[in-house]
A and B are shown apart, each in its own frame.
Chain A
Amino acid sequence: MSSGPAIIQVSKLYKTYRVGEVDVHALRGVDLSVPRGEFLAVIGPSGSGKSTLFHILGGLAPPTAGEVLVDGVDLRKLTENERTELRQKKVGFIFQKYNLLATLTAADNIRIARSLAGNETEPPGFGETLELLGIHKRLHHKPRALSGGEQQRVAIARALVNQPAILLADEPTGNLDTVNSDAVLKILRDLNRQSGQTILMITHNPEAAAFADRTVTMRDGQIIGV
């Protein structure tokens, strides 16, 4: 599945955080090209810059230097506001800690993401996605009434509701047991296979990485192995 035009094009990407008087070089020249429709796993030791890369791809943080193109959008040129719009429309985030809003039901958690992007109705065919995720019967529950696996599947639904160009999953199975892990990974693979969803997934687990089409490794703020 690594054919077609690149949906993500990163070259010589640098990200430096300033912490007090010290510069932390989180990314030191990342080069990465992801074809549309690929399921890519990103592995690497803690602190190697995996999350930082995702934050930049997802428009949560601006790059310090280098080129980043996501679905034709040049992220270097974006204002704060435009990055917000990128998050609304082009990117879906999945986090290790699910990050659902505790006060809202599962359905409303999904709905609010849609609403923030300016839509009050579900996209066509979304019911099937919910069925694929196996949460269509659990939607009226609040997160605390759901299992970890269910919460993560709601989070996946929320990430998909705006039909994003790319899905960024930062250790999506990090908090799940093997059974739930497997279920989530299979869902991601199915989404990728059935609807051509481009997915980037950070993981520490080689078995999880095996679900992806390709695996890259990060170390010291760079991608070293392909």
Chain B
Amino acid sequence: MAKYGKDPRAIGALVRDAEVHRDVYIDPEVFELEMEHLFPNSWIYVGHASQLSKAGDFITANIGRQPVVASRHTDGSIHLFYNRCPHKGVKIASEPCGNTGKFFRCPYHAWSFKTDGSLLAIPLKKGYEGTGFTDTQASGGLSRIRNVVVYRDFIFARLSENGVGFEDYFGESLSTIDNMADRSPEGKLAVEAAPIRYMHTCNWKMLVENQTDTCHPMVAHESSAGTAIKVWQREQGESTEKPMAVQLYGPFMSPYEFYEQSGIRIWPNGHGHTGVANSIHSNYSDVEGYLDRMVAAYGEKRAHEILGEVRHNTVYFPNIMVKGAVQILRNFIPIAVDRTLVESWVYRLVGAPDKLYERALMYNRFINAPTSIVGHDDLEMYERAQEGLKSNGNQWVNLRRLYESNEEPDVTAVINGTSERQMRNQFHAWAKFITMDMDQGVEAAE
């Protein structure tokens, strides 16, 4: 039975000022509507241009549940298509990445396509003469996704033909991606390896919300970060320099006051970040030679400006999180209402010392891997929430921390770092983008 149909009012009613209805996490129908409306109407991360360094390189990805392929064409341009042969629907690319040479060739009947998606050749072409083939969608080759923007090598796409433009959608939030890329003396990032993949049996939004949930680390991660500190204090002996591992785990146990002061910045359209004044990434030890290279590249003042911006987690609505200071991007890929694939990518700062890449890789396996003790703490909470929300005791999830009745939607503001306002910001955007292209005439039909 369809509870929500395509009724924007019914869906809008799931989001109150400071509460959301549990159906946004547990109702399969709401999940279907997200796939059909929210993801196509939003700008979604596809991949990084460094994964497409040569002509013929391709990567596959999902936008919501839509399988897509991005490719580097002979003229250097990047193109994005639905991963589906126009003949009988066979997936054109079956691997996460590769090089297809001069053209894609469908493995079923050998239709071939240029790397810009256009139809190159069909065997026994004569058989289509006079059949009206040229009037079909198939004759156009691979179905293209036209709204693609490559911003500082980050490839984003919007499936819907119409909607909010890239610049308007992200606005000032792009400053986190800028900061991450600027941390390379050459202003360039490179993907060198596959991501760490981690399957979560929970709704994708729980993961996104958790990125700016600053009241959980000292509680949920006492078991991991707290134990790491305890063991180090006991075993350190004479050594005074904290090992990299302890530097990475330790700050998770920072007290509430630390997070309160470090602040949260929100932006329109559901984006926002923790760690405005400082963050858990502020006190890592210096890497020898790095500052010199930065100063040589940018000058003293600009280099310090770049390295002084140590944001914690930046949420790009709807489903990625970027850590500029540690060069990590986490992609929360929705699989089902209670299933989310998390892919955590590390970027190498081109021209920076290896030690920074080593640290980013270490952070990624400490925090974002299926073997990560911090990950175990978090996933346990998500799984319990996914189960707990089935309870009929209360239909609402409470997001009221530091709520003010005059909160404006879609604004830029810096607030107390323990506020749940970024979560409210996300749900405002959620309601806006999921209903954006729904038929507003439902009311009349009732």
The finding on whether chains A and B are genuine partners in a shared complex, rather than unrelated, reads no
Which A residues have a C-beta under 8 Å from some C-beta of B?
none
Residues of B with Cβ closer than 8 Å to A? none
